[in-house]
A and B are shown apart, each in its own frame.
Chain A
């Protein structure tokens, strides 16, 4: 029982000695600066991501146009070949 009391007493003393702790006066400003940095970083990442998405969209549209043009050119060649063959009378 005595030891429990001593435990309580020691805790009470340490609690009293540390009850008025306060961060340094510059703390709030430093925390705000760090949060602002974080925000800027986040904005940077977001704009990079937006740019990346636009680039992906442009690439996808470019790829689709390229596939269409390739298909169209192939059809044109085929039609020309058939027309030439008909004109020669080989079909």
Chain B
């Protein structure tokens, strides 16, 4: 069963077909959530939340198939991740958040890379961070990113230029020893 058929079946009341939606999309969506959040455990939580949201929207008939199922799911995951990051920033502003103790040693290299990515992009505004992850790591086109982020192509280009400038400035500061 392909993804579109599975979604149609969920829309017509076959809840079990949603398993197929999860099976077909979980890897790709998990990767984007992990890259946006910089944490594997949080990425699983966000992905779970995203699937629940997607299931509810399908059940309520809110999915109008204006975009592909893949794009629609991508957008839900990005929005859930951004909500999560906003909440995390609020938490971090209020309390000193301790560095989480790793629960698993598997995927150590990926965990370290995600941590590095997360601290590298930490100071960027969330939309710039999202644009950078989608363009540089997910390899999406600017057109696709504008659809996912619900903004114009020009806005995406601006996010990317600003993000690169901010990261470059940060790097220079690091090299000059001001950070």
Which residues from chain A sit less than 8 Å from chain B, CB to CB?
3-4, 6-8, 10-11, 13-15, 17-24, 27-28, 30-32, 34-36, 38-39, 42
Contacts and interface: CB of A to CB of B under 8 A. Distances in A.
Size category of the binding interface on chain B: 35 or more
Interface stretch (B28-36, B63-71, B141-149): B28-36
Contact of B48 (A13, A15, A21, A34): A34
B88 interface: no
A55 to B, nearest CB: 25
Interface in B131-179: 136-137, 139, 164, 167-168, 171
A21 B40 contact: yes
Contact of B22 (A6, A7, A15, A31): A31
A3 B56 contact: no
B114 interface: yes
Contacts of A27: 26, 30, 44, 47-48
A34 B113 contact: no
* SS of A interface (majority): helix
Q: Which of B113, B168, B171 has the most CB of A within 10 A?
A: B113
Contacts of A34: 48, 51-52
A35 B47 contact: no
Contacts of A24: 44
B34 A28 contact: no
The list of the 10 closest CB pairs from A to B, nearest first, reads: A17-B113, A11-B136, A23-B30, A15-B137, A21-B31, A31-B51, A14-B117, A31-B48, A35-B55, A14-B113
